[in-house]
Structure 1
Amino acid sequence: MSDSRTSDPAQLRAWLQGTAQHDAVAFRRLYEATSARLYGFALRILAKRELAEEALQDSFVAIWNKAHTYQSQLAAPMTWMTTIVRNKCFDLLHDAGVQVDLGAEPFDKDVASALQDPNATPIEALEIGREAKALAVCMSALEGLHRQAVGLAFFHDLSHQEVAQHMALPLGTVKTWIRRSLERLKTCLARGDRP
């Protein structure tokens, strides 16, 4: 199911907002509109159908539970959901003993290729690309360690405590950096600092 209505980022945002309110109909429509693309993305990472199906199921449970944390000014809906799928895939690989790098790069090639819907109209592809580029520009303006903290928290779905452990920093420092960085990102995106 990939008509212009279901590929529209505004429609996906509306369904995510409904999901945040535990609206089962909105969640079902979100699933129907995005699951095929997200499954394909998981399959490219995991290469096994059973694992990709497990990652997809775990991802939609996380989307249902975390939809209230989605911030449209920080990422397009597909970027946010693709990141959740990517992290679930990495969790499965980690559980299988495969080492996965959790660097601070939020827009790796896998995420970018997952966002390239072959059925998207040129205008839809352009909108997704603009949102990703705007966020990348604003992220690059952050100080290195602050950018890494935000990347680990939002693009790798780590808790503040996990970010603090990963970066070997006090929890209070990480919370302050993330809060200040989010304020800067919001200002940057609102200003329209776009490429």
Structure 2
Amino acid sequence: MAVQAASADIADLIARCSLHDRTAFRTLYQRTSAKLFGVVLRILKNRAEAEEAIQEVYIKIWQRADRFVAGQYSPISWLVAIARNHALDMLRARRPAGEDIDAALDIADAAPNPERLAAASEDGARIEACLAQLDAEKADAVRGAYLDGYSYEELAQRFAVPLNTMRTWLRRSLIRLRECLTA
């Protein structure tokens, strides 16, 4: 019952924040900032960034308080979702540019690739036999997606087909492979 009361209090504070009640906002901050800071810190793993992020999170809460619908979401879940999404956005923003990742492709890997490991095993032979039953293009697309790690978009460009067509190819091919392997 105490949890429901606390939840109702937080929901009330959010509702009052939507009316630009600064006292309610201050109280909301005092009651929830420790939890939200913990969420942000766990994601960002950097105290200085987390401190900066939590300020931005509360600005978003202030601006979006009118979007909270009591009863549709738990108020603390709504607050945590805002904090979590903001922290994830910050992580995405700090990722290195794609050119840095491309340089990593030139580094040789001494370990055998997954395709060679699978082909060396008995299961690999069964998979190859089932792949041979697919159209050559579709088998190459499956290998590209699941053995070589190409994205659907990269494969769609490579085979000059629309993205949804590539998704359909892969889904249907996997169904046929599963049928073949279970037969």
Q: For the pair shown, which has the larger CA radius of gyration, 1 or 2?
A: 2
Q: TM-score, normalised by structure 1?
A: 0.46
Greater percentage in helix: 2
Structure having greater relative contact order (Cα 8 Å, sep ≥ 6): 1
